[in-house]
């Protein structure tokens, strides 16, 4: 399998759909914004972007299946499955605020083999494929070398409908406010993870996540020398609704801190 070729085609498709998303920003009315839940929105742009991605990616691997955010297709694949978030950061998008991203990952027999995150606000494309380094617009990237949580810059996201773990989450935030270089919340998990992969951030954690939020970014981090896990250090971070992702050096320390609060 030519993973490099698949990744290159995926990047091209993401950029094409990204142009559509950018052109449409600010060109839709409030009537076209649908609330899927409290603070959870979808627009016709999300749906149209997803349909375009599905149509084009399906041509690369015709027998592939899809896991998509907006439910425009339900198709199980055999060997290959695409995991797609057509517009990560919809709330940012409707307020004309950055960042906004497209996130595309490919699984082969349950293993991630390609990841692409196209951040539209800065027009930066992060990507990796099986047995490759990670790249930002053609330049190889690596996770940071920070070796202590106290020296790290941390990214996270806030829950918008599942508040069942809010109390321990807020306690963990309080710890990091006092014992790191700071915490950032940009509103796009895909972008957060891409920034960990290139060393802008040192760590990320969040609960109430979906596979399309994290699949591409987590893979890019791992290919950039970082690590990803669920809150107990296991591999159930794609479908387990929780993720810790860091550079290699602080992984164990960061995971232990997050686990101390979130595994109660």
Contact 49, 25 (CB under 8 A): no
- Give the alpha-carbon dihedral of 196, 120, 242, 208, to 10 degrees: 150
Angle, helices 44-60/3-24, rounded to nearest 10 degrees: 160
Q: What are phi and psi of 261, to 5 degrees?
A: -95, -45
* 182-218 pLDDT, tens digit each: 999 999 999 999 999 999 999 999 999 999 999 999 9
Q: What is residue 76's predicted lDDT score, i.e. its pLDDT?
A: 76
Asked: is 149-262 a CATH 3.40.50.720 domain? The reply is no
| Tokens coding 235 | 């591999």
Pairing of strands 40-43, 203-207: unpaired
CA distance 104 to 217: 9
- Assign domain 3-141 to its CATH architecture: 2-Layer Sandwich (3.30)
Domains 3-141 and 149-262 share a fold: no
Q: In sequence order, which residues have a C-beta less than 8 Å from that of residue 180 and are 6 or more positions away?
A: 149, 150, 151, 152, 153, 154
Residues of the chain with pLDDT under 70: 28-42, 72
Residues 6+ apart with CB under 8 A from 49: 17, 20, 21, 86, 87, 102
CA distances from 203 to 95, 226, 230 (A): 27, 9, 13
Asked if 103 and 193 touch (Cβ cutoff 8 Å), the reply is: no
| Domain locations in the chain as residue ranges | 3-141, 149-262
Tell me what pLDDT residue 32 has.
Answer: 59
Alpha-carbon separation of residue 128 from 106, 116, 121, 134, 168 (angstroms): 11, 7, 20, 5, 34
């Amino acid at each position: 399998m030519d993973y490099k070729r698949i990744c290159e085609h995926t990047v091209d498709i993401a950029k094409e759909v990204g142009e559509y998303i950018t052109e449409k920003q600010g060109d839709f009315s409030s009537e076209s914004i649908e609330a899927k839940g409290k603070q959870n929105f979808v627009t016709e742009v999300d749906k149209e972007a997803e349909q375009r991605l599905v149509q084009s990616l399906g041509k690369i691997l015709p027998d592939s299946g899809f896991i998509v955010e907006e439910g425009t297709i339900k198709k199980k694949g055999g060997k290959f499955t695409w995991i797609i978030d057509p517009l990560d950061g919809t709330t940012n998008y409707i307020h004309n605020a950055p960042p906004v991203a497209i996130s595309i990952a490919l699984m082969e027999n349950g293993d991630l083999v390609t990841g692409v995150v196209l951040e539209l606000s800065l027009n930066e494309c992060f990507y990796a494929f099986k047995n490759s380094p990670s790249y930002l617009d053609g330049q190889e990237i690596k996770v940071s070398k920070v070796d202590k949580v106290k020296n790290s810059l941390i990214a996270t996201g806030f829950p918008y409908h599942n508040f069942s773990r809010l109390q321990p989450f807020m306690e963990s935030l309080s710890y990091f406010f006092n014992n790191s270089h700071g915490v950032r919340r940009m509103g796009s998990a895909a972008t957060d993870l891409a920034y960990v992969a290139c060393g802008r951030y040192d760590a990320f954690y969040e609960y109430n996540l979906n596979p399309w939020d994290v699949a591409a970014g987590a893979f890019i981090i791992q290919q950039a020398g970082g690590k990803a896990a669920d809150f107990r250090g296991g591999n159930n971070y794609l479908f387990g609704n929780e993720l810790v992702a860091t550079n290699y050096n602080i992984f164990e320390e960061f995971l232990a801190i997050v686990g101390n609060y979130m595994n109660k």
